[in-house]
């Protein structure tokens, strides 16, 4: 089965799935940016890689390359992992024989009927399937109204396939907090690795944390680029400011995150399947997350962590306090979290489900 894969940059979980599918009879041709992080890995695995500049949603050079590729080769399926690559491909394929197209979606929202580029991506009638990284994204598509109550997407067209991971990708040999963060060795560390934006629930997290009694000696680490200045203001004004560290972007973020006692991501909306939560769980760190997006797909409430309603500061405080006060519960949930990633979010499962989808769309090729 010959598959044309369209990337922009490359993600490790997606890339390793493609490499694994090549071991199951798939003949991949991969288009990605020349500087894509996983390009070398593809080439080392013996897969064909065709560089695409992809400077914009309408990149004439990329369109020419893709159109020439379609004219000169026969593909059974086109699988687009990035919207920018999908829009350029759909323009390149105008007037050419139809090939089933699969589009990947990793976030909720940003899909407007009034945006012409939406009709060149997920609203394009040539899209046979949309693969969503979590169930919440699938439900977003199925529930999106069009006109007079009509729906553009059928349950058969939109499917959920989680990305697969390998726990060893995320293990930190010596996770530790750098001295410049000035966190006492005996402190219990609650950590959030994310872009520091209001919609990530950071202000609610700060408000919940300052209500946790100081005698627990808990510290809150907020690691990631600061995109909303109000978050800096909230930290400065907090009654718990002495125990909050707002680090900004850190190149050593994975090592810092490996030293967390509790991972939290209380997003308010538009969450996908957050890799930061996956990384923590794979390392045996229990997570306290909101019920936004794919968080509940990852964390089973009461087993591998806690899931609280998005925006509910009091529920967040209670869940964090429960884990802070109970070391045995943290250890138990952390162990369950690591097991969940190891068993339920594997590359093998992703490949099996994706191959099944390919066979449905191109039965003759299989």
Give the span between the Cα atoms of 20 and 154, in whole angstroms. Answer: 29
3-state secondary structure of 151: strand
CA neighbours closer than 13 Å in the CB half-sphere of residue 34: 3
Could you report the per-residue pLDDT of 294-325, keeping only the tens digit for each? 999 999 999 999 999 999 999 999 999 999 99
C-alpha separations of 159 from 78, 134, 139, 162 in Å: 16, 9, 10, 10
User: Angle formed by the axes of helices 202-209 and 229-237, to 10°?
Assistant: 10
pLDDT at 111: 83
* Backbone angles phi and psi of 245, in degrees to 5: -120, 115
- Domains of the chain are 2-164+346-361 (3.40.50.2000), 168-344 (3.40.50.2000)
Q: Strand pairing partners for 167? A: none
pLDDT at 117: 84
* pLDDT tier for residue 114 given thresholds of 50, 70 and 90: confident
pLDDT at 10: 87
The pLDDT of 69-80, averaged and rounded, is: 97
Give the span between the Cα atoms of 171 and 174, in whole angstroms. Answer: 9
Could you report the per-residue pLDDT of 265-293, keeping only the tens digit for each? 999 998 999 999 999 999 999 999 999 99
H or E element, residue 16: helix 12-21
Between 148 and 358, the more confident residue is 358
* pLDDT tier for residue 148 given thresholds of 50, 70 and 90: low
pLDDT at 365: 79
| CA–centroid distance for 125 within its chain | 26
* pLDDT tier for residue 118 given thresholds of 50, 70 and 90: confident
Give yes or no for residue 175 having a pLDDT over 80.
yes
């Amino acid at each position: 089965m010959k598959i044309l894969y369209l990337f922009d940059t490359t993600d490790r979980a997606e890339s390793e799935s493609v490499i694994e599918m090549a071991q199951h009879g798939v003949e991949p041709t991969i288009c990605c940016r020349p500087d894509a992080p996983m390009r070398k890995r593809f080439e080392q695995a013996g897969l064909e890689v065709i560089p695409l500049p992809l400077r914009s949603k309408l990149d004439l050079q990329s369109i020419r390359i893709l159109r020439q590729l379609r004219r000169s080769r026969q593909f059974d399926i086109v699988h687009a992992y990035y919207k920018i690559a999908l829009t350029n491909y759909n323009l390149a394929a105008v007037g050419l024989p139809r090939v089933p197209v699969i589009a990947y979606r990793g976030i909720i929202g940003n899909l407007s009927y009034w945006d012409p580029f939406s009709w060149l991506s997920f609203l394009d009638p040539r899209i046979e399937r949309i693969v969503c990284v979590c169930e919440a994204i699938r439900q977003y598509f199925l529930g999106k109204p069009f006109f007079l109550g009509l729906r553009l997407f059928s349950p058969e067209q939109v499917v959920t396939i989680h990305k697969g991971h390998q726990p060893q990708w995320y293990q930190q040999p010596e996770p530790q907090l750098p001295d410049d963060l000035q966190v006492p060795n005996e402190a219990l560390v609650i950590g959030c690795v994310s872009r520091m934006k209001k919609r990530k629930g950071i202000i609610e997290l700060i408000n919940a944390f300052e209500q946790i009694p100081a005698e627990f000696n808990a510290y809150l680490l907020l690691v990631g680029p600061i995109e909303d200045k109000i978050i800096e203001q909230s930290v400065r004004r907090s009654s718990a400011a002495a125990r909050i560290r707002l680090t900004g972007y850190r190149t050593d973020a994975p090592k810092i995150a490996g030293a967390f006692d509790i991972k939290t991501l209380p997003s308010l909306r538009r969450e996908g399947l957050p890799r930061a939560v996956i990384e923590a769980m794979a390392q045996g760190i229990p997570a306290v997350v909101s019920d936004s997006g794919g968080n509940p797909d990852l964390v089973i409430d009461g087993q591998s962590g806690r899931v609280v309603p998005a925006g509910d500061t009091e529920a967040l405080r209670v869940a964090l306090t429960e884990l802070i006060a109970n070391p045995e519960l943290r250890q138990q949930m952390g162990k369950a979290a690591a097991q969940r990633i190891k068993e339920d979010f594997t590359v093998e499962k992703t490949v099996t489900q994706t191959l099944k989808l390919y066979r449905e769309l191109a039965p003759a090729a299989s």
